[in-house]
A and B are shown apart, each in its own frame.
Chain A
Amino acid sequence: MNLEKHLPLTETTYYILLSLLEPGHGYAVMQKAEELSGGRVRIAAGTMYGALENLLKQKLIASVPSSDPRRKMYKTTEEGARVLKLEVQRLKHMVDIYNRIQGDE
């Protein structure tokens, strides 16, 4: 399975995968993404639902049993967590290169 094809992640996807390392429902993810990004990333409801649907289809998240009958719970899959890690490595590499070049000046 080629995980590289998912990269680069959009900011929305990145925060969803990160938030769902712990199981949560849709709105909890919206709140967590906002909190983790320091209030910068606000995912609206329609965008959030669409993103969850896409991630389910790509099997990067899965739905898990929910105590609330109305609200579905989601969790990042192992594959999703690996994609997240690859993305972090990619970003880190980019930041490292920037620092090296800036350091040369």
Chain B
Amino acid sequence: MKKFKMFWNFDEEEKYLKDMAWQGYIFKKYSIFGFCHFESGKPQNLNYKIDYRIFKDKKEFDNYIALFEDAGWKHVYGTKNSGNQYFLPMNEKAGTDIFSDRVSAAARYKTLYRICLANIACFIFYLCIILFSVGGDLSKLAFLTPGLWERTGRAFWSAFFFELPFVLLRMTPLVFFMTVIVFYGYWGSKAKKNYEAVMNEDTDKE
């Protein structure tokens, strides 16, 4: 079974996966665009824990997984660059959580926030390249047929529809990059809010 899911909060996602396992849907993986894959199984109590990390190389990723395994946590999903890393306890060594203090649990949101900022910077750079390529004149991406808007009737519509696919093609990267920037901006602001919420939480976890 596949479900489209997006989470801004790690605790909510952990709870969601736990609830699904309780209903007999065992989390397998995430695929592109946030599709969450489940396999049917017997209903069980699975205490999912999520870390957020991106690794510089495969060796460091292996070292990370080995540390968790040594400590009793099985890495169930995540890749070197996926960010979210999913764990399940495999023995009594694991304890109840992968974090023993609030600061390190909150640090996940800080990492996420930084990665959102880096992505925004990267896509703004792409936007600048587009702007530069048209000499700052975005109208060059729109309809270029001379005198198009003066035409009427069939002459207008045939020219309009003839050029429309080209206009869409020229505009696509621009619209795509802008959408991505807004998306990361939203995600980053959520991450920042969550970070502050965890840091200000009144809890006995110190």
- Residue B186 at the chain A interface, CB threshold 8 Å: no
In chain A, positions 1-39 with a C-beta closer than 8 Å to chain B are: 10, 12, 25-27, 30
Report whether A26 and B70 are in contact in the complex, using a CB–CB cutoff of 8 Å.
yes
Report whether A30 and B101 are in contact in the complex, using a CB–CB cutoff of 8 Å.
no
- Residue A65 at the chain B interface, CB threshold 8 Å: no
- Residue B77 at the chain A interface, CB threshold 8 Å: no
Report whether A44 and B100 are in contact in the complex, using a CB–CB cutoff of 8 Å.
yes
Known contacts A12-B101, A27-B70, A51-B104; A46 and B63 CB within 8 A of each other: no
A10: chain B residues at CB < 8 Å are 101, 103
- Residue B64 at the chain A interface, CB threshold 8 Å: yes
Report whether A46 and B70 are in contact in the complex, using a CB–CB cutoff of 8 Å.
no
Report whether B63 and A70 are in contact in the complex, using a CB–CB cutoff of 8 Å.
yes
Report whether B97 and A49 are in contact in the complex, using a CB–CB cutoff of 8 Å.
no
Report whether A42 and B107 are in contact in the complex, using a CB–CB cutoff of 8 Å.
no
B53: chain A residues at CB < 8 Å are 49
In-complex Cβ contact of A44 among B60, B66, B95 (8 A): B95
Report whether B71 and A30 are in contact in the complex, using a CB–CB cutoff of 8 Å.
yes
Report whether B67 and A27 are in contact in the complex, using a CB–CB cutoff of 8 Å.
yes
B107: chain A residues at CB < 8 Å are 50
- Residue B51 at the chain A interface, CB threshold 8 Å: yes
Q: How far is the CB of A25 from chain B (nearest CB, A)?
A: 7
Q: How far is the CB of B149 from chain A (nearest CB, A)?
A: 58
Which of A25, A45, A47, A72 has most chain B Cβ within 10 Å? A45
- Residue B126 at the chain A interface, CB threshold 8 Å: no
CA distance A4 to B63 in the complex (A): 31
Report whether B63 and A44 are in contact in the complex, using a CB–CB cutoff of 8 Å.
no
Q: Which residue of A lies closest to B97 (CB)?
A: A44
Report whether A26 and B95 are in contact in the complex, using a CB–CB cutoff of 8 Å.
no
Q: How far is the CB of A10 from chain B (nearest CB, A)?
A: 8
B66: chain A residues at CB < 8 Å are 25-26, 70-71
Q: How far is the CB of B180 from chain A (nearest CB, A)?
A: 28
CA distance A49 to B75 in the complex (A): 14
CA distance A95 to B72 in the complex (A): 37
Q: Which residue of A lies closest to B73 (CB)?
A: A45
- Residue A48 at the chain B interface, CB threshold 8 Å: yes
A47: chain B residues at CB < 8 Å are 98-101, 104-105
Report whether B71 and A27 are in contact in the complex, using a CB–CB cutoff of 8 Å.
yes
Q: How far is the CB of B141 from chain A (nearest CB, A)?
A: 43
A25: chain B residues at CB < 8 Å are 66-67, 70
- 14 interchain pairs, CB-CB under 8 A: A25-B66, A26-B63, A27-B71, A30-B70, A30-B71, A42-B95, A45-B67, A46-B68, A47-B101, A47-B105, A48-B71, A49-B68, A50-B107, A70-B66
Give A contacts to B, CB under 8 Å.
10, 12, 25-27, 30, 42-51, 70-72
- List 5 tightest A-B contacts by C-beta distance, closest first: A27-B70, A46-B98, A26-B67, A44-B100, A45-B71
